[in-house]
Structure 1
Amino acid sequence: MNNDSSSRIAARLREWIAGASPGSRLPSTRSLVAEYQASPVTVQKALQSLTTLGLIESRPGVGTFVRAVRTARPADYGWQTAALGSPQAPPRSASSTMRSTTNDVIPFHSGYPDRDLLPERLVRAALARASRSDAALSRPPAPGLPELQSWFARELGASTPVGVTPPTPSDVIVLPGSQSGLSSIFRALVGHGQPLLMESPSYWGAIHAAAQAGVRLIPVPSGPDGPDPEELARAFETSGARVFYAQPNYANPTGAQWPARRGEQVLDVVRRNGAFLVEDDWAHDFGISTTPVPIAAHDESGHVIYLRSLTKSVSPAIRVAAVIARGPARERILADRAAESMYVSGLLQSAALDVVTQPGWQTHLRSLRHQLQSRRDLLVAGLREFAPQAHLERIPNGGLNLWARLPDGTDLEQLTRDCESAGVIIAAGTEWFPAEPEGPFIRLNYAGPNPGAFPEGARIIGRALLRQAR
């Protein structure tokens, strides 16, 4: 007998259970085998499915019985309102970029690259080796595995110019993803109620982490070439802030990359104000037509707190990142991390280190550069042909996203609904602004699956925009 037979038996028994009283005893397995002309295994599968549904219960040595139906009473959590008090920050829903979708849609909303863009073979082999190593059973040091600390330090040190002291492994703290690092940095270096300068628009996760840390966000307008140094200096002076968060290379969401001169100017402003620059180098491995040079490579006085993540480029399942900081700032961040999670899984650290030190890693990155370029150009061409209303101020030199300005008056909520009903998921730009949005924008990920559908996705966006213009 097959699974269809077990389903048929389960359906018949459900009819019988519906007319039986709670506590009624079901016929024995032997009786059911004879009645339905089925094997004992098939009957057991049917009974197991009913047990899973909570319709029957087995009492070893006694028999199988109809379970009593318990009427669910509404839970009263009202007492928690008084116990918790008012939240320090208004609750924020999860970003639309984290939304899971079915395979029959065109997902332009995601913040992650498609599986085809990951080094799958390297990751699987690394996890297998890590599972057989001591890392599977031992507790790593709080700052991270020394070998992984050294790798992160060497990566940043490779961009350090002559005359500047490169970071050391002891400057590195390994993190379970850069998001947790942002939370620790904002708590440790800014503090509740204190001002934090942030590029606008900026990464939604940084905005969320700042809100949860209770810091006071002060937006600093930032364009394709980064923030105006004079505007940044005024923001430091008027706010009294001592920390500025930014993404100088392939910013999320805009894709902006600061020119080298702009990076020098921003670092000068930060130094003059005795402040910190939190440099989020999230897309370091996603260069297309340029190679990113971190601003942290030019700093040896501890003004730059540098974040580098491997989560997107290695695998979302391997949440490993690092913060590189010097002086007392490092000790404060490490203390916060110890209170938050004590240490990062040695198994994941070992696997991440294995991947990035294999010869195939560099081969993968070279291939990734070309794949990202072809996907980016395909989506850009589709938008220019089918959705010219979605204005691209600049084509990004790297990263994963396009940032499109829409016509004034565009109803973003209606647009996202119209696109979704036609099979395209987009991310409205509102969640990337620390304060009020400066206009209607959408962020489109060109690293998602099925690039062959990009032109059709652009066509659907264009049609939805035309309907609003009528």
Structure 2
Amino acid sequence: MSDSSSIASLVASLQARIADLAPGDRLPSSRELVARYTVSPVTVSRAFAQLAAEGMVVTRPGAGTFVAPRRVRPGPAAADTSWQAVALAGRESDAGLGAAVEPSAPLPEGTLAMAGGYPHRSLQPTRALSAALARAARRPDAWDRAPVAGLAPLRAIFAKQAGGDVTADDVLVTGGGQGALSMVFRAVAPPGSPVLVESPTYPGALAAARAAGLRPVPVPMDADGLRPDLLADAFAMTGARLLYCQPAFHNPTGAVLTAERRRQITDVTRAAGAFLVEDDFARHLGHGGPVPRPLVADDPDGTVIHLASLTKPASPSLRIGALVARGPVRMRLRAIRLVDDFFTARPLQEAAVELVSTPAWNRHLSALATALRERCAVLAGTLATAAPDWQITRIPAGGLHLWVRLPSGVSEAAAVEAARAHGVAVDAGRRYFPAEPAGAFLRIGFAATEDAAHLTEAARRLGLAAADCAPPAP
């Protein structure tokens, strides 16, 4: 059991116990709880800290932990927020805006996580991250103000990764990829204008576009990625000045834009007088094979705005990304950064430099590639046997997910609910489409679970779910 689930389980047990006690009653000691629940003293300490923060217990040094006095909570009529409906008028929200990027609620005990977009903790370079952060904290200037564009060594790292003639001066360090997307959408296109996106695409991009007041317009894909012929038509019909795409290990399909199409997509965008936002989030998530060269490396004219991130291959909390842009748009992005938050926290930038500058980083990326390749093969093989009617659209060469088409007559909602009933969390495909979906799909991750054994068990459970929601035989 993970530390977080152990703490949550202990907190729930203590809350139930507190409900039967009176204020001032003493709770069992830490030693007693360690023995009774077979947990560590650290788990007990964190559980007590959480209960204290919630106002349920008070700790008296040398005496113990006691039930706190009951707090009288105001009834539902104590607050009236109806005035906000008037104050917010004129700025309508999209119903799915936050849901597209907000983590789902905690999973029930025993549920296998096949949803979400981050690798399991066992796939993260935890020791290297801790060591890097410790070294960064010892720098005498660790807590000084950082430059608006980011630390020069970190910008140089991202420039080298982008390739071509990209320099550190073209790089703006950001607080992760999601914030970078929001900056770009607000910087490039005025509210109300269209933005072309692959269909399907990353829901967080759709949310960021809609939050900026933009209107996502779908451009279909096929096995080779975004279709250049339909892209040209979309530019002509909409007058869009912005395209968002993921050329390498596309989320959710895993597609890689072919070499020929890479040139065509950039040429079509340049001819339309538009910007191409290249989301290169998966550059470090390849499965050991070649990773295509970034589009920005072959773009001398500033058509491509390149987005990179260290978050996926490292840790959800290493909120470090970068934008590569040239010309006036770079200055506009810099200006937005000043308005938004001035700069990315310097200790985090210093830690990122420390992390990627050591041999441990390359060893981690190599191990991660091997693990992702093996996990992908395990899930694809076992799922094909357990749920043969669920079509895996491709075996991806990178990324964290399988994109699965459901058979005719099976709804996504039914499949997701059946999977949940059997203890597996998966993502419904509908949220990845900016408009009408091209069918019923599921996105099933192979990186969020603890190990290959869990993947095999998840496939078995999904086979049961597939049988539950299968249409009746004619």
**Superposed pair shares fold, TM > 0.5:** yes
Structure 1 match to 2:123:
117
Structure 2 match to 1:235:
234
Measure, in 1, the Cα distance between the counterparts of 2:226 and 2:361.
34
Deviations 1:178-207 (A, max 9, x none): 101111111110120011000000001001
Structure 2 match to 1:398:
398
Measure, in 2, the Cα distance between the counterparts of 1:13 and 1:454.
41
- List, as ranges, runs of 4+ consecutive aligned residues in structure 1 with deviation greater than 6 Å: 10-13, 48-51, 64-68
8 Å CA contact 1:135, 1:347 repeated in 2 = no
8 Å CA contact 1:152, 1:169 repeated in 2 = yes
Matched, 1:77 2:81: yes
1:266-277 to structure 2, matched below 5 A, reads 266-277=265-276
Structure 1 match to 2:461:
460
Measure, in 2, the Cα distance between the counterparts of 1:49 and 1:407.
51
8 Å CA contact 1:197, 1:218 repeated in 2 = yes
> 1:466 deviation in Å?
2.2
Uncovered stretches (5+) of structure 1, i.e. residues with no partner: 1-6, 18-25, 28-44, 56-63, 161-165
Matched, 1:153 2:159: yes
Matched, 1:328 2:328: yes
> 1:450 deviation in Å?
2.6
Measure, in 1, the Cα distance between the counterparts of 2:261 and 2:207.
27
Matched letter for residue 99 of structure 2: A
Deviates more, 1:221-230 or 1:80-89: 80-89
Measure, in 1, the Cα distance between the counterparts of 2:18 and 2:413.
44
Deviations 1:448-468 (A, max 9, x none): 223212122122222222222
Measure, in 2, the Cα distance between the counterparts of 1:13 and 1:462.
43
8 Å CA contact 1:186, 1:213 repeated in 2 = yes
1:129-144 to structure 2, matched below 5 A, reads 129-144=135-150
SS at match of 1:443: strand
Structure 2 match to 1:221:
220
Measure, in 2, the Cα distance between the counterparts of 1:457 and 1:252.
21
> 1:407 deviation in Å?
1.1
Structure 2 match to 1:293:
293
Measure, in 1, the Cα distance between the counterparts of 2:250 and 2:54.
52
> 1:333 deviation in Å?
1.3
Measure, in 2, the Cα distance between the counterparts of 1:91 and 1:361.
40
Matched letter for residue 454 of structure 2: A
Matched, 1:425 2:425: yes
> 1:370 deviation in Å?
1.0
Give the direction of change, closer, same or farther, for the CA distance of 1:127–1:410 in structure 2 (3 Å limit).
Answer: same
RMSD of the TM alignment (CA)? 2.7
Structure 1 match to 2:114:
108
Structure 2 match to 1:360:
360
Structure 1 match to 2:263:
264
Deviations 1:260-279 (A, max 9, x none): 11101111111211211100
Measure, in 1, the Cα distance between the counterparts of 2:215 and 2:68.
60
Matched, 1:208 2:207: yes
Tell me which structure has the larger Cα radius of gyration. 1
Matched, 1:87 2:91: yes
> 1:381 deviation in Å?
0.1
Give the direction of change, closer, same or farther, for the CA distance of 1:205–1:68 in structure 2 (3 Å limit).
Answer: closer
Deviates more, 1:289-298 or 1:368-377: 289-298
Deviations 1:347-374 (A, max 9, x none): 1011011111101211211121111110
Matched letter for residue 344 of structure 2: V
Deviations 1:302-358 (A, max 9, x none): 000000000111211110000000000111111112111111000101101111110
**Number of residues of Structure 1 aligned to a counterpart in Structure 2:** 420
Measure, in 1, the Cα distance between the counterparts of 2:53 and 2:244.
55
Structure 2 match to 1:379:
379
TM-score by length of structure 1 reads 0.84
Structure 2 match to 1:451:
452
8 Å CA contact 1:422, 1:460 repeated in 2 = yes
Percent of aligned pairs with the same residue?
39
Uncovered stretches (5+) of structure 2, i.e. residues with no partner: 1-13, 26-47, 59-66
Structure 2 match to 1:61:
none
Deviates more, 1:237-246 or 1:284-293: 284-293
8 Å CA contact 2:418, 2:468 repeated in 1 = no
Structure 2 match to 1:313:
313
Measure, in 2, the Cα distance between the counterparts of 1:294 and 1:51.
48
